[in-house]
Amino acid sequence: MALFTEEIKDSVGEIERMVQSRGDAALMALTEKFDGVKLESLKVSEEAMDEAFVNVSTDLLIALEKAKENIEKYHRKQLRESFFTREENGGMLGQMITPLKRVGLYVPGGTAAYPSSVLMNGIPAALAGVKEIVLISPPQQDGKIHPGVLVAAKLIGITEVYTLGGAQGIFAMTYGTESIPKVDKIVGPGNVYVTLAKKMVYGQVDIDMIAGPSEILIIADKDQNPAFIAADLLSQAEHDPLASAILITPSKALGEAVLKELEQQQQNLQRKDITQTALENQGKIIITETLEEAFHLSNRFAPEHLELLVEDPMSHLPKVENAGCVFLGPYSPEPLGDYYAGTNHTLPTSGSAKYFSPLSVDDFIKNTSLVYYTKEGLQRARKDIELLADYEGLEAHKKAVSLRFEEDTEDRKI
Ligand SMILES: NC(=O)c1ccc[n+]([C@@H]2O[C@H](COP(=O)([O-])OP(=O)(O)OC[C@H]3O[C@@H](n4cnc5c(N)ncnc54)[C@H](O)[C@@H]3O)[C@@H](O)[C@H]2O)c1
Ligand SMILES: N[C@H](CO)Cc1c[nH]c[nH+]1
Ligand SMILES: [Zn+2]
């Protein structure tokens, strides 16, 4: 993955070694180095969680509540039920769903506050029935987590929160330290350091996906509004200097109009430095011969967010093979999905939408298969199983079935 340069790999490798060998002391030192903050403790106290409510507006609380409702409604549809099927031979087969025991949520916070990510990561975990949810997020300059993040955590019942960010946070939740307990799975988006650390620890814990610097790709036909397109491109460029914003269109005139709009709209943005770097390095306006070619290129890129700004967008949907989330039509701007519609905003990046899905309730459960056969059922299946075991040369497998029907062992008890 081109995103992870040798320099970043070396730096994250060193962070891992430090966390493994020095635990909390390394976490404190790394927080001082990367966040510029000297922490006294990592765990956020109950009082600090409550105090956060004083520092957010009532309007923000109401907006978070509404977003929470929409996210819950959408994710509730993803819930699965355990089942048993009755087989013709009198047996039963089933699938038992159990929640993961302990998960760690990473909520970004380096250059912006992300209360929305608390809801996006925490709600599906809570719906799945996870009992132990740990949340980590980096400190601001005052040494505290953004109050909006703490408030959002409390709104969805998360109380175990640690002031810790970056790759060190991911390694702490993987290996455990004096203060941070080890988890079974780590989910949540983050910058390039966080994302590389997650990739490195996969296998020692589970992870959700590669959810790194944000991406938007817009496919637009000639009749679209250039101001809408520029605004949506900038909305993702402002996340990170490594974010990507791409327009693909068969209309050269539209491409030129969007370029002008980008220049104008960017002037007034607070995070202009970030959008400028992102657009210079990862921004593209690609003019194709046809709309079909635009879909072909988009599928190769496999963007995190794909906007279809074309006439009758629904009719083009079957052409989309790879994308984290698709936004259809001019009144479905990407930030609608970031905050509010109810779909999850933790989405695969760096081309990984070819094989990863958006974060969902499925990330927080596991299936256990169940098998129950009667004696008669096994008797009927016996020949086929013995034949298959013979073919595989696995004699003990065959015996585990056949001895149940041998006269001298059939009714044996101790
Ligand atoms: N794909 C998704 O689903 C999704 C969703 C939301 C946000 N995002 C992305 O999350 C990211 C948020 O990034 P952020 O930086 O604001 O917050 P962050 O919390 O991901 O990263 C901040 C941390 O990075 C560490 N760090 C900073 N500079 C470092 C360095 N030079 N070396 C080692 N570690 C360093 C620090 O510890 C800091 O606490 C953005 O890239 C955004 O696009 C992605
Ligand atoms: N666009 C981000 C995912 O790439 C999610 C987000 C959170 N807040 C604002 N945006
Ligand atoms: Zn966003």
* Domain segments of the chain as ranges: 6-209+361-366, 215-354, 376-410
Instruction: Give the list of residues 6+ apart from residue 399 with CB closer than 8 angstroms, or none.
Output: none
Cα 75 from Cα 43, distance rounded (Å): 29
Average pLDDT, stretch 232-253? 98
Look at residue 142 and give its three-state secondary structure. Answer: coil
Is 121 close to ligand 2, i.e. is its CB under 6 Å away?
Answer: no
Q: Is 345 annotated as a binding residue?
A: no
Average pLDDT, stretch 395-409? 94
pLDDT score at 409: 81
Fold of 6-209+361-366: Rossmann fold (3.40.50)
Cross-strand pairs, 365: 99
Cα 176 from Cα 161, distance rounded (Å): 15
114, 193, 275, best to mutate for ligand 1 pocket (most atoms within 8 Å of CB): 193
Q: Give ipTM to 2 decimals.
A: 0.99
Model pLDDT for residues 165-205, shown as the tens digit of each residue:
999 999 999 999 999 999 999 999 999 999 999 999 999 99
Cα–Cα distances in angstroms (integers) from residue 5 to residues 2, 9, 10, 192, 199, in the given order: 7, 6, 9, 10, 14
pLDDT score at 89: 84
> Over 80: is that where the pLDDT of 109 sits?
yes
| Tokens describing residue 134 | 């740990």
> Over 60: is that where the pLDDT of 264 sits?
yes
**316 is known as an active-site residue:** no
Q: Mean pLDDT, the chain, as a whole number?
A: 97
Query: Of residues 16, 215, 261, 304, which has the active-site annotation?
Result: 304
> Over 90: is that where the pLDDT of 61 sits?
yes
Model pLDDT for residues 169-180, shown as the tens digit of each residue:
999 999 999 999
- No. of H helices and E strands in the chain? 17, 13
Residue 283: its H or E element: strand 283-287
Q: Is 106 annotated as a binding residue?
A: yes
Cα–Cα distances in angstroms (integers) from residue 300 to residues 92, 308, 342, 357, 359, in the given order: 44, 16, 27, 16, 22
pLDDT score at 414: 81
> Over 60: is that where the pLDDT of 119 sits?
yes
Model pLDDT for residues 67-81, shown as the tens digit of each residue:
999 999 999 999 999
> Over 60: is that where the pLDDT of 209 sits?
yes
> Over 70: is that where the pLDDT of 300 sits?
yes
**305 is known as an active-site residue:** yes
Ligand nearest to the CA of 119: 2
Cα 187 from Cα 123, distance rounded (Å): 12
Within 10 angstroms of residue 141's Cβ, the number of other Cβ atoms is 8
Q: Is 202 annotated as a binding residue?
A: no
The CA 235 to ligand 3 mean position distance, Å, reads 6
Per-state percent for the chain, helix, strand, coil, to nearest 5: 50, 15, 35
Question: Which CATH number among 3.40.50.2300, 3.40.50.1980, 3.20.20.10, 3.40.50.300 corresponds to the domain 215-354?
Answer: 3.40.50.1980
Name which of 4-8, 48-52, 86-90, 216-220 the model is least confident about. Answer: 86-90
Asked whether the domain spanning 215-354 has the same topology as the one spanning 6-209+361-366, the reply is: yes
Ligand nearest to the CA of 347: 1
Within 10 angstroms of residue 365's Cβ, the number of other Cβ atoms is 20
pLDDT score at 94: 97
> Over 90: is that where the pLDDT of 411 sits?
no
Is 244 close to ligand 2, i.e. is its CB under 6 Å away?
Answer: no
Look at residue 187 and give its three-state secondary structure. Answer: strand
The CA 154 to ligand 1 mean position distance, Å, reads 23
Per DSSP, 383 falls in state H
Beta-sheet strands, E only, within 37-159: 83-86, 92-99, 102-106, 132-137
Is 308 in contact with 327 (CB distance < 8 Å)? Answer: yes
- Quickly list DSSP for 221-276: -TTS-HHHHHHHHHHHHTT-TT-EEEEEES-HHHHHHHHHHHHHHHHT-TTHHHHH
Model pLDDT for residues 345-399, shown as the tens digit of each residue:
999 999 999 999 999 999 999 999 999 999 999 999 999 999 999 999 999 999 9
Q: Is 184 annotated as a binding residue?
A: no
**Burial 295-327, CB ≥16 within 10 A → b, else e:** beebbebbbbbbbbbbeebeebeeeeebbbbbb
* Of 387, 340, 344, residue with least CA distance to 363: 344
| Tokens describing residue 292 | 């079909």
